[in-house]
Amino acid sequence: MKKSEIQPHRVRKNNQSNSQQSSQLRVGAQLSGSHPHRKGTSAKILLHAADGRNRRNASRKGKRSHRILRNTKLYKQGYNRGYEDGVLQGQNSFGIVFEGVSIIIPTYNQRDYVLQCVSSIEKHTPAPYEIIVVDNASQDGTADALLRKGGMVRVAALEKNRGFAGGVNQGLMMAKGRHIVVLNNDTLVTPGWLENMMTCLNSDPQIGVVGPVTNYIGGDQQIEVPYREVEDMWSFAANQNRPDPEKHRVTDRLVGFCWLFSRDLFERAGYLDEGYAVGNFEDDDWIVRVRMLGYRLAVAGDAFIHHFGSVSMKALGEQDFNTVNKGNEQFYSQKWGDPQALIAETSRLAQTPHSDPQTRSQANVSSLAAKGDLRQRAAGSSSVNSPATSPLRRSSDFYPEGAFLVDLKGDVYVLRSGQRRKLNIPVPRGISPVLVAKPDLLGIPAGEPLVSAGDIRNGSFEPDFPLAVISPDPGVAPTDLSIVSVADTPEVWYLVTEGKRRKFVSTYAAERWGISSRHVHQISTEQLHSIPEGWPIIAPPQLLNKDL
């Protein structure tokens, strides 16, 4: 074979080899950063380089994941410590109040209205105050919108709609102010509203609750207004709200769209009755109790707030609204009978000769409250309303002697001679203690605990009689705590206790304390009238929220 025939073949081979090597070098330069003229570059070296880079990336990712986990753990630890500190501070501050006003706003699916309401409070209310919005399980993002808003707003987001009474009660439980305002969500407060209402409240120690005037409400709190649009309301309100004590007046009823009262009144009157569905009449119910305690009501005519008007109730629709309203009206009538006659009767009893001196002083002040202006009444009552001799009553004064009371913890007490005596023995068979809220119980002085079955006996021949006689002498036959009626009015029942007859204001009231017709014994009218009268007996409010 000739040399010239071999050479071209070798050249083609070398060219192919060089081309392949050059390609490897270029790829190596691209993947591993090797210089293109570096000799000995191979696929193995490239794979080692890529593997090293992957390990470095994995190491960085591992460190980052570890850092994230560590930071998450630290965050959770800090959050838990903060939560525990918050719970501890809340427990330590329980019962501590601040010298300001707690403004309670129950709401349900009215986000825009309640946001407007809160903004008007922030703009037109001087500090100190707190706003407590109780969201009755709204579906329109109310709670989230309020939480984003922040500021002086505390939000209680309930898991279900507890109605107006339940929402207000939740706010009352949370409130820490010396004074309390209950306010509808569809209102706009105006400059001077709270200052003028507070002036009215402080003008007379007999005044327990103050309400403003408005453009839309039932009763005598509604006034004529010249505006049609909210934008035109502010100038009218500025003129209306010029401080003027001559515009303060006593009234017999205050609608619950806006109330101002003291913490002391709340502790005496207790919570709203949650037996009323959704809304309506629970405010009238609470006002009846307030008046039975000896308080007066007043309207501050120089405090105007705008009321859009029953927004939540209108949202029910006409048919559902009528159903709810009728049911609540029937419950109110069943519970109270004739509430105005009851209030008048309580006022009359306060003036009877057999009542104690403080009660008679209360009656004298109440008679002053029926006439004259607030400044005259304040001057006439100042001598009998010092804290040491305050004649104002408590709701528990209208509870029956011997009643078994239970609190949320399950502790049972017996009410006797104005004291709550803890039952440190099993509850007698057949007795169902009545749930009473903590403010009611704390307002009753504590007596000696009952530690022996001999300390307590039924006061009736019936084995399931729900009231108890407490006597230091077990050998004494129980002659107290009898339920009686007369033939002429068999539906009216009385509890005879401590030498007095106390009328149950309704059959419902008696049944709430466990009394039924089988416990009632008939006596003659002469026998009944020979027994002096005592305070009537009312039903305790229903409390569906077990946190109260």
- Domain 96-342 fold: Spore Coat Polysaccharide Biosynthesis Protein SpsA; Chain A (3.90.550)
What average pLDDT does the segment 490-511 reach? 95
Would you mind telling me the total number of residues written for the chain in this entry?
548
Cβ distance 180 to 258 under 8 Å?
A: no
- Domain 395-530 fold: TTHA1013/TTHA0281-like (3.30.2390)
Which tens digit of pLDDT belongs to each residue from 156-177? 999 999 999 999 999 999 999 9
* 3 state SS of 132: strand
- pLDDT value for 61: 72
Beta-strand pair 129-135/98-107: parallel
Distances (CA, A) of 150 to 85, 97, 136, 154, 188: 21, 21, 19, 8, 19
| Domain boundaries of the chain, sorted by first residue | 96-342, 395-530
What average pLDDT does the segment 504-533 reach? 94
Residue 18, number of CB atoms within 10 A of its CB? 10
- What is the overall mean pLDDT for the chain? 82
**Tokens matching residue 462:** 């019936």
Which tens digit of pLDDT belongs to each residue from 375-434? 444 333 333 333 333 578 999 999 999 999 999 889 999 998 889 999 999 988 888 999
- pLDDT value for 6: 40
Which tens digit of pLDDT belongs to each residue from 291-349? 999 999 999 999 999 999 866 555 666 778 788 899 999 999 999 999 999 999 999 99
The residue among 241 and 76 whose pLDDT is bigger is: 241
- pLDDT value for 48: 55
The distance in angstroms from the start CA to the end CA of the chain is 114
- pLDDT value for 382: 34
Measured distance CA(234)–CA(213) in Å, rounded: 14
The residue among 247 and 18 whose pLDDT is bigger is: 247
- pLDDT value for 78: 85
23-32, 72-81, 281-290, 307-316: least confident range: 23-32
- pLDDT value for 541: 95
Q: Is the pLDDT of residue 358 over 50?
A: no
The residue among 454 and 144 whose pLDDT is bigger is: 144
Measured distance CA(507)–CA(484) in Å, rounded: 13
Measured distance CA(414)–CA(458) in Å, rounded: 12
pTM of the model: 0.77
- pLDDT value for 149: 83
Q: Is the pLDDT of residue 499 over 50?
A: yes
- pLDDT value for 17: 46
What average pLDDT does the segment 274-293 reach? 94
Measured distance CA(100)–CA(92) in Å, rounded: 19
